Structure 1
Amino acid sequence: MSMKFKNLSIFIILLIVIGGFSYSAINGVNIGKFKINPVKNSIKQGLDLKGGVFVVYEAQTDATGQELNKILDQTIEVFRKRIDGMGVSEPVIVKEGEKRIRIELPGVKDAKEAIDTIGKTAQLKFVKEDGTVVVTGKDIKKSEVVFDKRTNQPIVSLEFNSEGAKKFANATRELAPTHSPIVIILDNEIISSPRVNDEIPDGHATISGNFTVESASKLANLIRAGALPVEFKEVQTSTVTATLGVDALNKSVQGAIIGIALVMLYMLIYYRLPGFIADIALISYILIIMYTYVQMKITLTLPGIAALILSVGMAVDANVIIFERIKEELKNGKSLRASIDSGFSKALGTIMDSNITTFIAGIVLFKFGTGPIKGFSITLMIGILASLFTAVVITKTLLKSLVHANIVRNKKFFGA
């Protein structure tokens, strides 16, 4: 009696746990300081779902090998600083191919402005009238927007590093007696050319012009982020509106729900009680995938949703193999308990073989793929691990606890 109660308790507890996580995934939980947001509000959405812009830049350089990799790494860091300065959340900046860098900016509304800001070479120079370079953007330690005390207009305040301060002090000392100008050039365009009246020894300078607060902030951000090491050419650009993204998400989710519901119905009709257990395990599988996305802060994309639906089929396939083995054992005259143990044991090798080969394919896609392909491969690999866990652990535990509780004894409930 105690053994029957123990197994029944295990079955009921698992159902309650799965039901609780299902409720929190859909509605969230808010009890005092303890709070779990609904999964749909917690998962990061990719460009194709949230809307935004992506752009691919190609380095205009003959560098190869380690030198090229260094240039691309430096450029990615500059891009990241510029994007952080724009306030864009969750950007994707990755190498693509040999000389290219792909940038995805979910949620950006003004695509042209974002691309102009990111792609600017931002080669800043302070030069004398004869073209002699005094200091460059590399000599600047700090740049920020301040307001001119006389005109109350926004200007860009610069602070040079120690080396830059020395060079700037020497140049202004030389130019002060003749009140000669220092020309400030950004990407071969003269921004301003203030005349030098006195030596500036403290390593500070300002850039003034017809700035708005916004344009001054952009310039300060560009200078702060640094110049690109080489020129980059924009080779591909695409904008996804938020409306298209939401529409794509809704249709994908709707398709996924219909597909999963049909699979669950088929399992229930064909395999009866094991099918019901498989449906519970399938719900567990989806919960594991969703919470993994939230905890690992993985970005969900349309290819990711496709991989999720594909991996649902793989999760069901594992259960199908197990249940067919159980049916074979029952037809051979074994008891329910013996058939379940033997069925899981015999099916495990086949399940492992098929999943390992697919997992290897996922690793290859992740290693050599870019953008959406990586999103697909990540979901596929997570799905394979989750399907193994749900098939081998959850399905087995639920099925064995139900049978060991002696609630079901008729083999017809197992489709035999």
Structure 2
Amino acid sequence: MLQIDPWKRVLIWLTCAAGVWLALPNAFYTQVERHNDAAAAIEMSGATPELEQQLSGWPEWMPSALVNLGLDLRGGAHLLAEVQVADVYASRMQAMWPEIRDALRPERATVGTIRLQPSDPQEIRVKISQPEGMQRALEVVRELARPIQTLTGVGGTDIDVRGEGDTLIVTLSEAEKLASDDRTVRQSLEIIRRRIDEVGTREPTIQRQGTDRILIQVPGIGSATELKEIIGTTAQLTFNPVVSRGSDPEANPGVGNKIVPALDEQGVYYTLEAAPVVTGEELVDAQPAYDQNGRPAVNFRFNTSGARKFGDYTAENIGSPFAIVLDDEVISAPVIQSHIPGGSGIITGNFTVEESTNLAVLLRAGALPAGLEFLEERTIGPELGQDSIDAGKVATVIAFAGVLVFMALSYGLFGLFANVALILNIALIFGLLSLIGATLTLPGIAGIVLTVGMAVDANVLVFERIREELKTSRGPARAIELGYEKALSAILDANITTFITAVILFAMGSGPVRGFAITLGLGILTSVFTAIFVTRLMIVMWFERRRPKTIEV
């Protein structure tokens, strides 16, 4: 006998209703998107009449999660960036000089005076006045070496130290360079992701390609130039002691110093100690604010290590100027008036409100460890995305209509039941995509079209099996029951193997392949659910009301 427990019936219909409920916002995409953007803007910067009006365009009690549209549907920007990993070597060497100097100072009786010599940016050359003390100097500097924390560099150290006459030479080891390259690209990847997320763009694609390249695709952004402005700035913040101030950019700064232009003072150049006291890497927070004169500024706060170094330096150098340097430009060089404990301060300059906000975002997200060279950039217009959407709609409608007509002509009333289940199947797919915040791309639409074609396979297997059972002169109820029982193994076998394929595509693929795998995998789950449970429930409910003596499938 056909029988489905009441609680199962309620659960099946509730699942279908939940899927339709979650998918509903996608039928009013533009309206819901404006509502979501307004809600985000109000939370960030406060309400305005215009934002309140946009917010009221969609009821608060309704779901507002949407299926995000990918770059090929919405339009947006595409960049391929190469990370300049060699930049990090010079920074590392520059930062090591104070450490080497402080380590050798107690050994003056053995090595004599120590002087930094002009050298390649990727090495440090230190001249000692007593060459006979070179062995001791090598021992002292080698004690500064740290083990490499990677599988490929096990047993190695981060620096190579050697002596040539009266000159001690320090370079990064080859194993450390490889480890540094990997760290630099990973760090750049994460910082780019944080910067783009801070701006609030939708579902960006940020992936590593090869050893030193990063692919960035951001839907809904105006142009590749706008995207480059968000992520292209290294935002390397340092706090350097000021040696002098002048107007000659070609002057000799001296060994261990550098000349940096002032950002807001034309023709003014500062000579700074190259080794910073504190860097932006030790920042833990940065927020837009206003200075005592009501001009836009940025408040910052260091971590414990940075706060200690910042506090110690300000305590020992009261009355001396201290340069705040952003990307090799002095944005401010205040005189230290008193000890600054606590590790917090303010960056002032001729900022606009937008500039101070962007600077805070960049500093909060972190400094890019190295520069980026953009090898490829494309702006994809929304009209191209609209063409893709229209083509996808046409393909889906044609496939959908063809399947509906075929099922109705082939299986009559049972075919109509299958068609209702197919419509619910599409709603469930979009409901799940909205629930998990997935991004729909053109390959994803292809996955949905394929799902539409595959969704009726399970019903076809069941209906054909019911036909076979009816030919053996079984009653309608028994034929329907056996049709579902005997077709179940074939349905599960076919869909499980396809689902495994979708999982492998998702795990091994990237970008468009993943979009296809997600919609295909979700489509398989919803297809099996609607075929085994929804269609069967409709047939059972119909059979209980009509009690037909014979049925035609």
> Contact 1:308/1:380 (CA < 8 Å) preserved in 2?
yes
Question: Kindly tell me: are residues 101 and 206 of structure 1, through their superposed partners in 2, closer, same or farther at Cα, counting changes over 3 Å?
Answer: same
Partner of 2:274: 131
One of 299, 307, 310 as aligned partner of 1:168 = 310
> Contact 2:332/2:348 (CA < 8 Å) preserved in 1?
no
Partner of 1:397: 537
Q: Secondary structure, in 3 states, of the residue corresponding to 1:272?
A: helix
> Contact 1:18/1:284 (CA < 8 Å) preserved in 2?
yes
One of 273, 297, 302 as aligned partner of 2:442 = 302
The 1-side partners of 2:81 and 2:283 are apart by 26
Amino acid in structure 1 at the alignment position of 2:222: K
Question: Kindly tell me: are residues 217 and 191 of structure 1, through their superposed partners in 2, closer, same or farther at Cα, counting changes over 3 Å?
Answer: farther
Partner of 2:62: 36
Q: Deviations over 1:74-93 (max 9, x none)?
A: 44442333223323344444
Partner of 2:201: 88
Q: Deviations over 1:214-261 (max 9, x none)?
A: 222222221121113444443443332233323322331232122201
The 5 Å alignment of 1:93-172 reads 93-96=206-209, 99-128=212-241, 129-150=272-293, 152-172=294-314
Partner of 1:348: 488
* 1:210 Cα deviation after fit: 3.5
> Contact 1:43/1:298 (CA < 8 Å) preserved in 2?
yes
Q: Deviations over 1:182-234 (max 9, x none)?
A: 333333x2233515253442334443444222222222221121113444443
Q: Secondary structure, in 3 states, of the residue corresponding to 2:273?
A: coil
TM-score, reference length from structure 2: 0.63
Partner of 2:506: 366
> Contact 1:139/1:163 (CA < 8 Å) preserved in 2?
yes
Question: Kindly tell me: are residues 197 and 295 of structure 1, through their superposed partners in 2, closer, same or farther at Cα, counting changes over 3 Å?
Answer: closer
Structure (1 or 2) with the greater helix fraction:
1
The 1-side partners of 2:209 and 2:520 are apart by 21
Amino acid in structure 2 at the alignment position of 1:396: R
* 1:374 Cα deviation after fit: 1.1
> Contact 1:123/1:137 (CA < 8 Å) preserved in 2?
yes
* 1:320 Cα deviation after fit: 1.6
Identity %: 37
* 1:121 Cα deviation after fit: 2.5
The 1-side partners of 2:357 and 2:24 are apart by 41
Q: Deviations over 1:45-82 (max 9, x none)?
A: 22322222233444444998785776555444423332
The 1-side partners of 2:12 and 2:273 are apart by 80
Q: Does 2:218 correspond to 1:194?
A: no
> Contact 1:336/1:403 (CA < 8 Å) preserved in 2?
no
> Contact 2:439/2:515 (CA < 8 Å) preserved in 1?
yes
Q: Deviations over 1:15-37 (max 9, x none)?
A: 99979976983878x9xx88435
Partner of 1:25: 24
> Contact 2:12/2:533 (CA < 8 Å) preserved in 1?
no
> Contact 2:223/2:379 (CA < 8 Å) preserved in 1?
no
Amino acid in structure 1 at the alignment position of 2:424: S
Question: Kindly tell me: are residues 86 and 131 of structure 1, through their superposed partners in 2, closer, same or farther at Cα, counting changes over 3 Å?
Answer: same
TM-score, reference length from structure 1: 0.81
The 5 Å alignment of 1:271-350 reads 271-350=411-490
Question: Kindly tell me: are residues 166 and 55 of structure 1, through their superposed partners in 2, closer, same or farther at Cα, counting changes over 3 Å?
Answer: same
Q: Secondary structure, in 3 states, of the residue corresponding to 1:201?
A: coil
Question: Kindly tell me: are residues 296 and 142 of structure 1, through their superposed partners in 2, closer, same or farther at Cα, counting changes over 3 Å?
Answer: closer
Number of residue pairs matched by the alignment? 400
Question: Kindly tell me: are residues 361 and 175 of structure 1, through their superposed partners in 2, closer, same or farther at Cα, counting changes over 3 Å?
Answer: same
The 2-side partners of 1:195 and 1:20 are apart by 61
Partner of 1:50: 74
Q: Which has the larger radius of gyration?
A: 2
Q: Secondary structure, in 3 states, of the residue corresponding to 1:133?
A: coil
* 1:310 Cα deviation after fit: 0.4
Question: Kindly tell me: are residues 110 and 157 of structure 1, through their superposed partners in 2, closer, same or farther at Cα, counting changes over 3 Å?
Answer: farther
The 2-side partners of 1:96 and 1:86 are apart by 24
The 5 Å alignment of 1:374-385 reads 374-385=514-525
Partner of 2:38: none
* 1:368 Cα deviation after fit: 1.3
* 1:393 Cα deviation after fit: 1.4
The 2-side partners of 1:17 and 1:361 are apart by 26
Question: Kindly tell me: are residues 58 and 323 of structure 1, through their superposed partners in 2, closer, same or farther at Cα, counting changes over 3 Å?
Answer: farther
* 1:347 Cα deviation after fit: 2.1
Amino acid in structure 2 at the alignment position of 1:207: I
Question: Kindly tell me: are residues 127 and 197 of structure 1, through their superposed partners in 2, closer, same or farther at Cα, counting changes over 3 Å?
Answer: closer
The 2-side partners of 1:61 and 1:95 are apart by 14
Deviates more, 1:54-63 or 1:384-393: 54-63
The 2-side partners of 1:266 and 1:80 are apart by 47
> Contact 2:206/2:215 (CA < 8 Å) preserved in 1?
yes
* 1:134 Cα deviation after fit: 1.3
Deviates more, 1:272-281 or 1:69-78: 69-78
Point out where structure 2 has 5 or more consecutive residues left out of the alignment. 29-55, 87-147, 153-178, 242-271
If asked which structure has higher relative contact order (CA below 8 Å, sep 6+), I would say 1
Q: Secondary structure, in 3 states, of the residue corresponding to 1:256?
A: helix
The 1-side partners of 2:223 and 2:354 are apart by 14
The 2-side partners of 1:201 and 1:245 are apart by 54
* 1:285 Cα deviation after fit: 1.1
Q: Deviations over 1:101-128 (max 9, x none)?
A: 4443332224312223213332222223
The 2-side partners of 1:20 and 1:169 are apart by 57
Question: Kindly tell me: are residues 343 and 204 of structure 1, through their superposed partners in 2, closer, same or farther at Cα, counting changes over 3 Å?
Answer: closer
Amino acid in structure 2 at the alignment position of 1:125: T
The 2-side partners of 1:269 and 1:47 are apart by 39
The 1-side partners of 2:461 and 2:275 are apart by 77
> Contact 2:282/2:305 (CA < 8 Å) preserved in 1?
yes
Question: Kindly tell me: are residues 345 and 211 of structure 1, through their superposed partners in 2, closer, same or farther at Cα, counting changes over 3 Å?
Answer: same
* 1:96 Cα deviation after fit: 4.9
Q: Does 2:406 correspond to 1:266?
A: yes
Q: Secondary structure, in 3 states, of the residue corresponding to 1:42?
A: coil
